[in-house]
Amino acid sequence: MGAGALLSPGGADGCLTVLTYHRVLPRKDILQPPDQIDAACFEGHMNAVRNWFNVLPLPEALDMLHQSKLPRRALTITFDDGYEDNHSVALPILRKHGLPATLFICTGFLGNGLMFNDIVTEAIRRTQSPSLDLSWLGLGTRPVGNMQEKQGLVRELIQHIKYSRKDLREQTCDQLWHQCAGQNVRPSLMMLPEQVKELARDGMTIGGHTHTHPILSKITLDEARQDILTNRMALSDITGKTPQLFAYPNGRPLTDYLREHRDLVKEAGYSAAFCTARGVATRETDMFQLPRFAPWQASPTRLSVQLLKNARIGRHSVTA
């Protein structure tokens, strides 16, 4: 990828591409969002980035960025939330290719917890009715007789309740689960604390991502501080190491987090933080608002186009 070297030089002009993933599904799942990739796609990505880029552990990459010593085509791999498939599906692929990664973990869901989007997805997956009466949510009656209809409703419901208050969101999830899945036990999708520990032991970097994944801009500053600190302490307990890197839940600057949350993360003792604004990090980028990019294209050619576009649009500081 010759153009990649031009768009991603090293040294004082060095820029760092930070990939971000959530789940790596064992196989395709139509109910998941389109950027939720499966094992085959992830394997293709890792193969491609190993050939095209210098893949670095994130702490090392940030040190090099600071010291103007970043190699050309520098890239690093991150995961958010703490899904079990990161351990069972992604880790073997990373190991096979000898690639390091950083995992930003939400400690409040480890074990049997489920994030709200997964409760919605798994509830709708389980309903056997041809339609659902969602008038209690102001959505009328919706058809759910086939997977396409279920897919549409999952996406709509997630958007519908994403920004509602945490207690209301939990109530909605409980009611929806009861309506769709009755007495069925919720599946376990998140890692166990021991698996996080194993990843850390295996040389992966573990970072903070809050305890309960709140949209920081929607809760009080005290609640945000508490959630950030609880997560940091829990991760220190699990891995025996205090995490130094943080990723904002949802991560959109000025929408999901504000300037004061950036300052909170710094005060908590973190040395760098990541948002979800696209682009690449340079020496000028705010170390507490480093951009990341979520690739989803399966073909290597399309992936390279995506990465080149990301490098071209984003060589600027994120300001909030």
Residues that bind Zn ion (CB under 5 A): 80-81, 249
CA distance 139 to 126: 19
Report in angstroms how near the CB of residue 168 gets to Zn ion at its nearest. 20
CA distance 189 to 26: 12
Q: Which is nearer to Zn ion, 214 or 249 (CB)?
A: 249
Report in angstroms how near the CB of residue 20 gets to Zn ion at its nearest. 9
Counting DSSP H helices and E strands in the chain, the numbers are: 12, 11
- Residue whose C-alpha is closest to residue 274's, from 258, 292, 256, 260: 292
Residue environment code for 278-297, b if the CB has 16+ CB neighbours within 10 A, otherwise e: ebbbbbebbbbbbbbbbbeb
In DSSP terms, which residues pair with 230 in a beta bridge? none
Report in angstroms how near the CB of residue 147 gets to Zn ion at its nearest. 25
Q: Which is nearer to Zn ion, 205 or 304 (CB)?
A: 205
Q: Which is nearer to Zn ion, 243 or 249 (CB)?
A: 249
Q: Which is nearer to Zn ion, 81 or 122 (CB)?
A: 81
* Position of minimal CB gap to Zn ion: 80
Give residue 140's region: left, alpha or beta (phi > 0; psi -120 to 50).
Answer: left
Residue located via tokens 């997956």 = 125
Report in angstroms how near the CB of residue 124 gets to Zn ion at its nearest. 21
Contact call for residues 3 and 58 (beta carbons, < 8 A) = no
- CA distances to 117, 119, 121, 188, 205 from 155, rounded to whole Å, are 9, 12, 9, 21, 31
Report in angstroms how near the CB of residue 26 gets to Zn ion at its nearest. 20
Report in angstroms how near the CB of residue 209 gets to Zn ion at its nearest. 6
Q: Which is nearer to Zn ion, 62 or 106 (CB)?
A: 106
Give CA angle at 270 (279, 60), nearest 5°. 60
